[in-house]
Amino acid sequence: MVIFSLWRRFFTLCFLILFTTSCWLFNILPSFAGVDDDRFDGNIFVVYAGNGSLVPARFTLKESLKREMPVLLVYYLDDSKDCKEFAIVVSSLQEYYGRAANIIPVSVDSIPVKSSYSPDEPGYYYQGYVPQTVLLNQKGEVVFNGKGQVKFEAVDDVFRQVFDLLPRSESVELKRRSFNEFNTELVN
C-alpha cells in the first residue's frame, strides 16, 4: 500500500513536470503579455484603451476624402509596446473629435505590399514607423505627421487649427467625462 502511494505521487509529479514543460514549450499557457512588452494580446484599442469602436473605422480613407472630412490615420502593431501605450491617446482623440473627423487605426500588417500607392490608400502615408500619426485636413492635405508616441496636446493643437477652434490657451480646458458617474459620486 505504501509502495503504491509512493508510485502514485511519483507519477503525479512526473505528469505535472511534463505538462508544465510542454505548455511552456508550446506556449499554450495563458498569455504573459502586458502593456510593458512587445507580445500580442489582442486588439490594443480594445485591451488597453477600452475602445473597441475604433476598429473597424466608420469610413475608409477613400470615403472620408470624398466626404471632405478630416482624417486621422494611426499606424500601429498589436504587439508593440509603444503602440499599446499610445492607444489611450488615440481613444482620447476620438472622444473629442470622433464625430467631426474620421479616425482610422491602420494595422501595419494589413497594408498590402505594393510598389506604389495612391493618396486614397493608407499605404501612401506610411513611413515605416509605429506608432505613426498622420492628420489630413478636409482637402486631403497632410497637416500633421508624428512618428512615435506623440502627445495628445500636439495633435489637439492641429485639430483645433483644422476645425478653426480657439487655441487651448484661450478656451475651456477639455476634461474627460467620468466613465461611471454613479460611482464617482459615491467616491467623492
pLDDT tens track for 37-80:
777 777 788 877 777 778 788 899 999 999 999 999 999 998 88
pLDDT tens track for 21-37:
665 656 654 555 677 77
pLDDT of residue 186: 43
Task: Count CB neighbours of 145 within 10 A.
Answer: 15
pLDDT of residue 125: 97
Better-scored residue on pLDDT, 151 or 45 = 151
Which ranges of the chain does DSSP label H, i.e. alpha helix? 2-25, 44-47, 61-66, 81-97, 152-162, 181-187
Would the pLDDT of 123 be above 70?
yes
Q: What is the largest CA-CA distance in the chain?
A: 86
Average pLDDT over residues 1-7: 62
Better-scored residue on pLDDT, 107 or 187 = 107
CA 170 to chain centre: 30
Average pLDDT over residues 168-186: 57
Q: How confident is the model at residue 131 (pLDDT cuts 50, 70, 90)?
A: very high
Output the CATH code of domain 44-165.
3.40.30.10
pLDDT of residue 145: 98
Which residue type does 21 have?
A: T
Say if residues 155 and 133 touch (Cβ distance below 8 Å). Answer: yes
Would the pLDDT of 3 be above 90?
no
Domain positions in the chain are 1-29, 44-165
Would the pLDDT of 4 be above 80?
no
- DSSP class of residue 115 equals S
